[in-house]
Structure 1
């Protein structure tokens, strides 16, 4: 039995869609905090279970019978993600889960300026100490967020950022499909595995691609961090979120997102999507 948490979200929801093309529906169960939002899976015959990391009592039944459990990481920047993940891992151990697969990130380091990377590193340590077989899917930085992190360059012609560095922008859709391939294959990938696109362009390199794609000149402006923060807050971004995002640029500048790996293409049987494709 494959049990997938966070099935109403974009990432693991897409993983379930791909699983349904690969394994019998009776071998899949999904876990959601709001089971009504998982109705589309129920309509296809998938078992839908209630489960919430913040409700420990809900998790034993949610994880029951799981040979492979896909744990989605918390997406709430204000939450104590590590505590929530600890609760889920403890419940998986108690339920006798065969293997935990966790949606991690390529910058899972305890010293990264990007907070989710620190949370992922702490969670991977919990997995390593759990005694259960585990896989950390270290997905590349999701490509759909490039639109936010590059700013309104289509209107201004300028990518104004507080730091630049290589980032292996990776399509969330590709990461979801890769997770399904791993889950369905039953082939063990022990510990951290890197799931990224094949290139890690800088904003400077993306500006060249954007210029060629749009027929206009797109430039990069590296702003002072405090000036960038002030501009974000003036534009309506809460200061907490602006500082949260700043950690991305700081981490990129020091190379935390530079790693690439051919595994994603091997799992997909095709070339992964590229950042350049999103700039036309």
Structure 2
């Protein structure tokens, strides 16, 4: 028989050649034997580094449920990493993944949702995540929605503050900005550990901060004044368009700031720190690492 028998306690991760999925697999490899880990990826060649370490690599695509059922075979748990193609029907694609996991016999499906996924959140991906969580709720198997806090590079939301000395962005609100690797490590701890959670859980840093707070932190780290300037939404959109960003994308991006100032992302949660056994990296940690580069 193959070394990859549809064995007991297998964990299958989708999107394992992406940033979050790949980091999660790396942390899983420190916690469970490689033969207990499977990955479902679009391009198996890009996951050769995992196959070389004993991970089961199979081709799978959310657009092709048959490939998913094959790549999920034998899984006790499946981590469905959410897609973000604005041109695709992501809820339907996520449904394909959830249904394939159920068909493959998975006992629990975990899904990378979004912090602040609540009705009325102006940041439109929230609706996709809520709809996918509803799919999970109807799936008939145990499920966990990992509502991950904002974990992209801070420069994506702060702008070029290191060069300009100014955080010139739309009005914001408190957000527990979190390091992607901490979320990946916490996810791996959930997948590999004895604790399980039903329904949505928040994975966030332990403190939510505003751009005013961040300007103060950045000033202390750099020894120079970093100023916070509030830019009108329409002016910000116009500036993005002038820099070459398509108008539809610029208007989409500004909804994130609108959601932040409504308090949609304000809640910080202690769960990630509990899973890590330490405090997650703070904004100060992240800025210090950025300024040291």
Normalization by structure 1: what TM-score?
0.97
Secondary structure of residue in 2 paired with 1:67: strand
Q: Does residue 1:115 correspond to 2:115, yes or no?
A: no
**How far apart are 1:196 and its partner, in Å?**
0.5
User: 2:143 maps to which residue?
Assistant: 134
User: 2:20 maps to which residue?
Assistant: 11
Which one of 178, 184, 187 corresponds to residue 186 of structure 2?
Answer: 178
Contact 1:63 1:92 in 2 (8 A): yes
Contact 1:35 1:49 in 2 (8 A): yes
User: 2:6 maps to which residue?
Assistant: none
Which 5+ residue runs of structure 1 have no aligned equivalent? none
Secondary structure of residue in 1 paired with 2:177: coil
**How far apart are 1:186 and its partner, in Å?**
3.7
Contact 2:179 2:286 in 1 (8 A): no
Contact 1:162 1:228 in 2 (8 A): yes
Contact 1:110 1:122 in 2 (8 A): no
User: 1:154 maps to which residue?
Assistant: 162
Secondary structure of residue in 2 paired with 1:247: helix
Return the alpha-carbon distance in structure 2 between the equivalents of residues 239 and 145 of structure 1.
22
Q: Does residue 1:193 correspond to 2:201, yes or no?
A: yes
**How far apart are 1:32 and its partner, in Å?**
0.2
**How far apart are 1:212 and its partner, in Å?**
1.0
Return the alpha-carbon distance in structure 2 between the equivalents of residues 186 and 269 of structure 1.
15
Give aligned pairs, total.
279
Which one of 269, 284, 289 corresponds to residue 261 of structure 1?
Answer: 269
Which one of 27, 31, 35 corresponds to residue 36 of structure 2?
Answer: 27
Return the alpha-carbon distance in structure 1 between the equivalents of residues 93 and 221 of structure 2.
43
**How far apart are 1:108 and its partner, in Å?**
1.1
Return the alpha-carbon distance in structure 2 between the equivalents of residues 243 and 2 of structure 1.
38
Secondary structure of residue in 2 paired with 1:208: helix
Secondary structure of residue in 1 paired with 2:138: helix
CA RMSD of aligned residues (A): 1.1
**How far apart are 1:56 and its partner, in Å?**
2.0
Spell out structure 1 runs of 4+ moving beyond 4 A: none
Task: Tell me: CA distance 1:244–1:145, structure 2 relative to 1, closer, same or farther (3 Å).
Answer: farther
**How far apart are 1:77 and its partner, in Å?**
3.2
Return the alpha-carbon distance in structure 1 between the equivalents of residues 47 and 160 of structure 2.
34
Secondary structure of residue in 2 paired with 1:131: coil
Return the alpha-carbon distance in structure 1 between the equivalents of residues 82 and 253 of structure 2.
18
Return the alpha-carbon distance in structure 2 between the equivalents of residues 247 and 65 of structure 1.
41
Return the alpha-carbon distance in structure 2 between the equivalents of residues 119 and 89 of structure 1.
14
**How far apart are 1:279 and its partner, in Å?**
2.2
Which 5+ residue runs of structure 2 have no aligned equivalent? 1-9, 289-293
Contact 1:2 1:68 in 2 (8 A): yes
Return the alpha-carbon distance in structure 1 between the equivalents of residues 87 and 233 of structure 2.
22
Return the alpha-carbon distance in structure 1 between the equivalents of residues 269 and 243 of structure 2.
37
Q: Does residue 1:85 correspond to 2:85, yes or no?
A: no
Return the alpha-carbon distance in structure 2 between the equivalents of residues 275 and 78 of structure 1.
32
Q: 1:162-182, CA deviations, whole angstroms, 9 ceiling, x for partnerless residues?
A: 221001101110000001111
Return the alpha-carbon distance in structure 2 between the equivalents of residues 186 and 34 of structure 1.
32
**How far apart are 1:26 and its partner, in Å?**
1.2
User: 1:218 maps to which residue?
Assistant: 226
User: 1:205 maps to which residue?
Assistant: 213
**How far apart are 1:87 and its partner, in Å?**
1.2
Q: 1:60-101, CA deviations, whole angstroms, 9 ceiling, x for partnerless residues?
A: 111111100000000323332111111111212222211000
